[in-house]
Amino acid sequence: MADKDEIRPNVHDSLRRVSELLRKHELVEGLVHRQQGPRQELVENLVHKLHLVELQKLLDAQHPADVAYILESLPLEERLVVWDLVKAEREGEILLEVSDAVRETLIANMDEHELVAAAEQLDTDEIADLAPDLPREVIQDVFRSLSPEEREQLRSAMSYPEDTVGALMDFDMISIRDDVTVEVVLRYLRRLDEMPDHTDQLFVVDHAGKLKGLLPVNRLLVTAPGTPVATVMQPDFFKLHPQEKAQDASGAFERYDLVSAPVVDDGGRLVGRVTVNAVMDYIREETDSDLLSAGGLREDEDLFASVWSSVRNRWAWLAVNLVTAFIASRVIGLFEGSIARLVALAALMPIIAGISGNSGNQTITFIVRALALGQITPENARKLFAKEIGVSALNGLIWGGVVGLFAFLIYHNWQLGVVMAGAMMLSLMLAAVMGVAIPLTLQKFGRDPAIGSSVLITAITDSGGFFIFLGLATVFLV
Amino acid sequence: MADKDEIRPNVHDSLRRVSELLRKHELVEGLVHRQQGPRQELVENLVHKLHLVELQKLLDAQHPADVAYILESLPLEERLVVWDLVKAEREGEILLEVSDAVRETLIANMDEHELVAAAEQLDTDEIADLAPDLPREVIQDVFRSLSPEEREQLRSAMSYPEDTVGALMDFDMISIRDDVTVEVVLRYLRRLDEMPDHTDQLFVVDHAGKLKGLLPVNRLLVTAPGTPVATVMQPDFFKLHPQEKAQDASGAFERYDLVSAPVVDDGGRLVGRVTVNAVMDYIREETDSDLLSAGGLREDEDLFASVWSSVRNRWAWLAVNLVTAFIASRVIGLFEGSIARLVALAALMPIIAGISGNSGNQTITFIVRALALGQITPENARKLFAKEIGVSALNGLIWGGVVGLFAFLIYHNWQLGVVMAGAMMLSLMLAAVMGVAIPLTLQKFGRDPAIGSSVLITAITDSGGFFIFLGLATVFLV
């Protein structure tokens, strides 16, 4: 499959190689089980080990994110063989990179001792990210191994809900005092072996820890060493608060092209920083969860999840749709007499419901997107209603004409064609009004308009479309 | 609306203030037109100007991305009033930030001279981004104003298709020679007024311009000045090629947490760099276009687009759905005789089609996502088929039982209930098989599986669901 290779050129080669080695390994295992002669066994065991050694070498050479990708792409049994070969000191990083569903399968196969060892390799903000998936005793053990300062960080990182700035934040920032010179700062930095990733700026604080300004690393390089920090720092700067929504932070990173941003508490004291890589991960997760919930999957599904866990992941959506389908069915039931007299109605009614459902979903997509961008105000909401109704009226003329003609051509009944065209027009207008109203209403009541809007509009256009068409037909035709 | 304020706290205040000032401005215009007394006019004109001055001050204080946001949120007429108040030297940056649809409305209202002036404020890679929307003469004028080196850059940037690394790349990199010391580099940097944004590393090249290594700025700070660059640089590094897919680059930035990456030509010579902000913009646009195409909108729609342009943007999807609805209608038409004899079939058939459509779409969502991550190989495709069929069989038992019971309770006809349950089971299995097969087939033929899969599965589950249910009913009941 060509496209896939293009997406992850190197890592996909690795995945193919891993699969190959695993297949050889399985083959050998099979042979060993069948042929129990001691000499044969010895040879096979040797080959077996050679494969695993090669596999381990291959894994050691991969970036943790790439090992995570390989693990996600393997069925459970093979995944655990590979996981056993991963060096203990890399397990923590890799656990951070894999998807939630796959992480559960890996953690379920590690003992307490291994988990503690893996977690201890990580920074406190990373431990906080893993914590929800770890057994209570493991967290307690890890906690005991930390310094008092780290314990404080871990406690603070774990105290913020998932979608806040506090959950995105790390503690790897370099802060400097505002009453020193650039030379002192440079000397201090040279004493560090290396600077944390994504250090594009240093945070300038006063003696009380209050953030006074930012000193971009690049400015540090082009400034004369004797200059006081206070004169070269940026005193006006963008800052975040731990309680703010993660979505705000990600919007700001996108708009202002940031690499890192300071996080301060209510007293203005520096408590951490957010970096662009945490923001990118957040955006990816958000996009994923929108995609999944739009399809009615409750959460990320392991590619090789059991049938039973997949059924559980998907049942809620199907149940809701079953209820709406039952309602639509009862609406049709109201008109069974009309259908019995003019059976063409049964064949034509799904057209009305289908087209208005699609049109309503287009309106929803458009409005949900504008809401997400914050572009809908009470003033322009009225204009949007007017516009969508206009669009649906024009669509009603066009598509109403087409479906009316279709009905006439098939059934040679011009009255049926006219009723069909009229029903199409009315259903499309219903879809337009509800397509604007549903997301605005969900938003007003503090619900996410991206979730549920589509189910609601389809329910309304189905039942409404059937009712309008069969109702008009009953009045004018039967 | 609470949520919106949280998304863009400051910029939304600005938008509200802009709307207020615009309303006052319109009010005054209205007064002036009605009361033509010269004294009255004078006073009103003064107030009028005061509002616009205040508005201009407000706009000047905003980040270009925030002005872009305000422009996108205003109806066309008000948008152009605001656009007239934007300082000429900021127009270029702001044009870069607005959405494609809004950019068109702004450019349509600028004369050639203004456009040339706006474009000349930009870097060559940014001009290349605007170029598709600019009139030919404007590009020629801009081209003439560039230095030979810049012309070469512009030509190169414009030569790459939109979804390649070449289109993401900029030319703002600092390259240094490999045969100097860190001290020489530091002295060179101090002569620059400031370093380009997102300069987290310098690119080390030999005398022929070939990229030999990367020198992280942070490492520069912690290295003794006498050290030769060649010994402190990273000789193994991640690099991109201009022809590579932008999606590859964005995957690498996410996986490896990059801030910038070098772009080299086939000869290994440094030609540009890609930065994380360009990658974030790319990801946002990709996500947006996926979202829009999933809803059947061809492109980004201006919130205040005319009814006619909205109809054009949405018609293709509706036309496709009309065709599939006609087919489904004809499938029902085949069984009109059965429906006439047992009219309950008409009321029950949408349940089968609806539920299996939803279930098929869940499978599609899941498979499309796994394909996008490159996690489906020929080996595991078979396992996925088996899993999805298992899920659908289990769902068939559960939901088939529920709908069968529903049919029995409403119509007191147990045979009808059994047919209903059987049809549900078969339709769900059809949905599962097609839900895996459709995206895999689209991918195989080089099409994007995210586009069109959903329409196809719904077409198949509609017609298929009707056929299965009405067919079974005709055989066993009528």
pLDDT in tens, A332-373: 999 999 999 999 999 999 999 999 999 999 999 888 888 887
Nearest to A354 by CA among B338, B455, B471, B434: B455
Note the maximum CA span of chain A: 96
Closest residue, chain A, to B20 (C-alpha): A379
Strands A260-264 and B211-216: unpaired
Q: Which of A4, A198, A223 sits opposite B374 (nearest CB)?
A: A4
Tell me how far apart the alpha carbons of residues A132 and A102 are, in angstroms, rounded to a whole number.
14
B437 Cβ neighbours under 8 A, 6+ residues apart: none
Contacts of B305 in chain A (CB under 8 A): 387
**What number of helices (H) and strands (E) belong to chain A?**
23, 5
Contacts of A318 in chain B (CB under 8 A): 355, 358-359, 362, 395, 399
CB pairs below 8 Å between A and B: how many? Answer: 381
Judge: B295–A2 Cβ closer than 8 Å, yes or no: no
Judge: B325–A199 Cβ closer than 8 Å, yes or no: no
Alpha helix segments (H runs only) across B192-301: 217-221, 229-232, 246-256, 276-294
- First CA to last CA across chain A, in angstroms? 56
Mean pLDDT on A224-242: 91
Judge: A194–B284 Cβ closer than 8 Å, yes or no: no
Judge: B3–A443 Cβ closer than 8 Å, yes or no: yes
Closest residue, chain A, to B187 (C-alpha): A222
Tell me how far apart the alpha carbons of residues B175 and B287 are, in angstroms, rounded to a whole number.
33
Closest CA–CA distance from residue B38 to any residue of chain A (Å) = 33
Give the best residue of A76, A311, A412 to mutate against chain B (max B CB count within 10 A). A311
State how far the alpha carbon of A4 is from the alpha carbons of B373, B377, B452, in Å.
8, 9, 19
Q: Is the dihedral of CA B202, B204, B210, B211 positive or negative?
A: negative
Mean pLDDT of the residues in chain A: 87
Question: What pLDDT score was predicted for residue B358?
Answer: 92
Distance from CA of residue B113 to its chain's centroid?
A: 31
Nearest to B324 by CA among B472, B465, B471: B465
Mean pLDDT on A101-128: 91
Closest CA–CA distance from residue A4 to any residue of chain B (Å) = 5
Judge: B63–A325 Cβ closer than 8 Å, yes or no: no
Q: Which residues of B406-421 are buried (b: 16+ CB within 10 A; e: fewer)?
A: bbbebbeeeebbbbbb
Q: Give φ, ψ of A264 to 5 degrees.
A: -120, 155
Contacts of B217 in chain A (CB under 8 A): 217-218, 221
SS3 A145: helix
Tell me how far apart the alpha carbons of residues A400 and A429 are, in angstroms, rounded to a whole number.
12
Closest residue, chain A, to B351 (C-alpha): A325
Q: Is the dihedral of CA A275, A281, A284, A290 positive or negative?
A: negative
Question: What pLDDT score was predicted for residue B37?
Answer: 54
Tell me how far apart the alpha carbons of residues A206 and B183 are, in angstroms, rounded to a whole number.
31
> Is B392 within 8 Å of B432 (Cβ atoms)?
yes
DSSP per residue over B281-302, as a string? HHHHHHHHHHHHHHTT--S---
Judge: B6–A245 Cβ closer than 8 Å, yes or no: yes
pLDDT 10s digits, A153-203: 898 888 898 889 999 999 989 999 999 999 999 889 888 877 888 999 999
Q: Which residues of A433-472 are buried (b: 16+ CB within 10 A; e: fewer)?
A: bbbbbbbbebbeeeebbbeebbbbbbbbbbbbbbbbbbbb
Q: Give φ, ψ of A107 to 5 degrees.
A: -65, -35
State how far the alpha carbon of A444 is from the alpha carbons of A163, A318, A379, in Å.
20, 26, 15
Long-range contacts of A140-145 (CB under 8 A, 24+ apart): A141/A112, A141/A116, A142/A116, A145/A116, A145/A120
Judge: A295–B387 Cβ closer than 8 Å, yes or no: no
> Is B453 within 8 Å of B442 (Cβ atoms)?
yes
Contacts of B276 in chain A (CB under 8 A): 259, 276, 280
Question: What pLDDT score was predicted for residue A45?
Answer: 66
pTM of the model: 0.83
Question: What residue ranges define each of the domains in chain A, with the CATH number in brackets?
Answer: 2-164 (1.25.60.10), 175-294 (3.10.580.10), 307-476 (1.10.357.20)
State how far the alpha carbon of A190 is from the alpha carbons of A215, A231, B186, B223, in Å.
16, 22, 14, 7
Q: Which residues of A231-247 are buried (b: 16+ CB within 10 A; e: fewer)?
A: ebbeeeebbbebebbbb
Half-sphere exposure of residue B116, counting CA atoms within 13 Å on the CB side? 14
Closest residue, chain A, to B371 (C-alpha): A4
**What number of helices (H) and strands (E) belong to chain B?**
23, 5
> Is B256 within 8 Å of B274 (Cβ atoms)?
no
For B231, the token pair is 């010994």
For B443, the token pair is 């991918």
Closest CA–CA distance from residue B386 to any residue of chain A (Å) = 9
DSSP A248: H
Nearest to B93 by CA among B58, B57, B130: B130
SS3 B125: helix
Mean pLDDT on A319-326: 92
Q: Which is higher by pLDDT, A44 or B232?
A: B232
**Tens-digit pLDDT string for chain B (478 aa):** 333 333 344 677 777 778 778 777 766 565 545 555 556 566 666 666 777 888 888 888 888 988 998 898 888 888 898 999 998 889 999 999 998 889 999 999 999 999 999 998 899 999 998 888 899 899 899 999 999 999 998 988 888 988 899 999 999 899 999 999 999 998 898 888 778 889 999 999 999 999 999 999 888 888 888 999 999 999 988 899 999 999 889 988 988 899 999 999 999 999 999 999 999 999 888 888 777 777 777 777 777 788 888 888 888 888 989 999 999 999 999 999 999 999 999 999 999 999 999 999 999 988 988 888 777 877 778 888 888 999 999 999 999 999 999 999 999 999 999 999 999 999 999 999 999 999 999 988 888 887 788 889 999 999 999 999 999 999 998 7
Judge: B221–A353 Cβ closer than 8 Å, yes or no: no
